[in-house]
Chains A and B, each alone.
Chain A
């Protein structure tokens, strides 16, 4: 490998470098993404792509310097390739490996298997398409009825938070198992439906696999902006654009040009509005081990704050009972930071009283790179907290 440094001096040069981001087969790893003229862009280039990258840059006279030369990593790469090729496609959800991180294709395949195995309980809805035209899939778990009161759960809205998509996969299987064994959430499914969107930001997720493991946002490009991507958790119409989000497209908390500019967000907004009967909405992130409720955009307490706080206390106690994992809970703005345009502020203002955000394991030792062996324990303990919220919604009709 080598790490190349490019300092784009003109818009043409900047564009040439940005083009490299699209060439997934080169397997480039951008340590510093292209943003402004004069700011360095650092790219880790695998050995086999070096010639192509240097040719691409040299063809337009973009100068680069070699920052790090590294030969040893060749061996590591071969090993990774071997592991990758040994992954086999699952043929059913019982042999699926829940203790590993999966690609988007593997997760989409899992969904189809789950539906095929449980056609009377599970269906797959396409609620829209991402910027890069990937389908946005929601699993619906229902034992019948028409437009029953429902619970929504989403994972993976921030693509680098890999334990969340992995937990979503586990939740899907768990719902099916509980129903089959007539335990756990089986009783909730008698009167309510559950909607689960596992890969809420598929473009970002694909990007974390191919190019930049630390990518958070969507992959949209808006007119007049230099950088790619909008923070999907700042793009909702609740305090949109207020303090707690950035108007700079290169920022990780860029709110986007206007509310719901991102199809990943708009599709959920449209779904929620047209469904009209969602009673609990849970959006799942990592990391920090927090259970949060509105608001993030204002210090004014939510009218239902006391009830939400009590539910949180119960949910966190249930979570902790399994492995002793400690969670803190409270409103977004007092517990982590001011954040405007966030998901659950919007859902709460729509009248979905039981709106919560989770930040899953850990507290910083591994952060986004949570070891795969922690996926199942994380999902198991989180599920206990989710059940508290779902049961409360079931028992407190509004």
Chain B
């Protein structure tokens, strides 16, 4: 019923990228960034009247701590003919990566105590540089992009965050940090680089949430 797929072929790779994007949103923060180290196994099930379901076995690493990896099994369901709803992703992560509690709290306190709201552009810059103090912002943009990628992926797309064009912190009365991003997403199949506006809320215990996002230039 479920067909074995070569991990080196693009259908499995696209489903894996989507699963990792979703996981980045769920688990993302300023002190860690999850990346796919290896797609170990992939199977595809064509479910009549429902859609295509991919079963994936992934090995993931934290970009800031590459000595450790965790395993993840994911089920990605691309629903038939559905242009408006996001693929359904179910994940199970086995194992633990290093704790980021302390680093997260430190970042949170630092931003909360800024007198002027943080503003930055072009992360990374043209030469791939990210100033160390902006790396947490880069990682938060990665988490925010994960949401957009999850919501907008199909079997015919593979998105990556190409660059943070602009980020502006917005001070709030509640305990969340808010960052308004303009990110460039690179879509591999069409090769387009698409600007998106994404608002991200983040809190050390509550994690990341995206209350709103929209593609720029699609007739706003």
B134 vs chain A, min Cβ distance (A) = 11
- In the complex, how many residue pairs between chain A and chain B have their CB atoms under 8 Å apart? 111
Contact with A along B182-196 (1 / 0, CB 8 A): 101010111111010
Q: How far is the CA of A119 from the CA of B129 in the complex (A)?
A: 37
- Does A336 count as interface, using CB distance less than 8 angstroms? yes
Smallest CB gap from B189: residue in A: A337
- Does A171 count as interface, using CB distance less than 8 angstroms? no
B220 vs chain A, min Cβ distance (A) = 7
- Does B178 count as interface, using CB distance less than 8 angstroms? no
Q: How far is the CA of A366 from the CA of B10 in the complex (A)?
A: 20
Q: Report the stretch among A143-151, A269-277, A368-376 that lies at the interface.
A: A368-376
17 contacts between A and B (CB under 8 A): A31-B184, A31-B195, A31-B216, A38-B219, A70-B119, A70-B166, A213-B126, A214-B184, A252-B190, A328-B13, A334-B6, A334-B9, A337-B188, A367-B161, A368-B162, A371-B127, A374-B128
For A3, what are the chain B residues with a Cβ–Cβ distance below 8 Å? 166
For B7, what are the chain A residues with a Cβ–Cβ distance below 8 Å? 328
Q: How far is the CA of A3 from the CA of B182 in the complex (A)?
A: 12
Judge whether A330 and B8 touch: CB under 8 Å.
yes
B: number of interface residues (CB 8 Å)? 43
Judge whether B219 and A32 touch: CB under 8 Å.
no
A31 vs chain B, min Cβ distance (A) = 5
Known A-B contacts A369-B126, A369-B128, A372-B128; A252 and B192 likewise in contact (beta carbons under 8 Å): yes
- Does B63 count as interface, using CB distance less than 8 angstroms? yes
A: number of interface residues (CB 8 Å)? 47
Judge whether B10 and A335 touch: CB under 8 Å.
yes
Contact with A along B5-32 (1 / 0, CB 8 A): 0111110010001000000000000000
For B195, what are the chain A residues with a Cβ–Cβ distance below 8 Å? 31-32, 42
Judge whether A330 and B9 touch: CB under 8 Å.
yes
Judge whether A214 and B121 touch: CB under 8 Å.
no
For B6, what are the chain A residues with a Cβ–Cβ distance below 8 Å? 330, 334
Known A-B contacts A214-B184, A363-B35; A370 and B128 likewise in contact (beta carbons under 8 Å): yes
Judge whether B10 and A337 touch: CB under 8 Å.
yes
Across the interface, A371 reaches (CB within 8 A) one of B10, B63, B128, B219, namely B128
Contact with A along B32-59 (1 / 0, CB 8 A): 0101111000000000000000000000
Judge whether A100 and B128 touch: CB under 8 Å.
no
Judge whether A364 and B160 touch: CB under 8 Å.
yes
Judge whether A42 and B216 touch: CB under 8 Å.
yes
Give the interface of A toward B (CB within 8 A). 1, 3, 31-32, 38-40, 42, 44, 68, 70, 72-73, 76, 100-101, 162, 208-209, 213-214, 216, 231, 246, 251-253, 288, 326, 328-330, 334-337, 363-372, 374
Pick from B9, B63, B120 the residue with the most CB of A within 10 Å: B9
Judge whether B129 and A371 touch: CB under 8 Å.
yes
For A366, what are the chain B residues with a Cβ–Cβ distance below 8 Å? 124, 128
Judge whether A31 and B165 touch: CB under 8 Å.
yes
Q: How far is the CA of A148 from the CA of B219 in the complex (A)?
A: 57
Counting from the closest, the 7 A-B pairs by CB-CB distance are: A371-B128, A364-B160, A252-B191, A32-B217, A328-B8, A214-B193, A369-B124
Smallest CB gap from B156: residue in A: A337
Q: How far is the CA of A253 from the CA of B121 in the complex (A)?
A: 28
Smallest CB gap from B37: residue in A: A326
Pick from A32, A39, A326, A366 the residue with the most CB of B within 10 Å: A366
- Does B163 count as interface, using CB distance less than 8 angstroms? yes
Contact with A along B126-168 (1 / 0, CB 8 A): 1111100000000000000000000000000000111101100
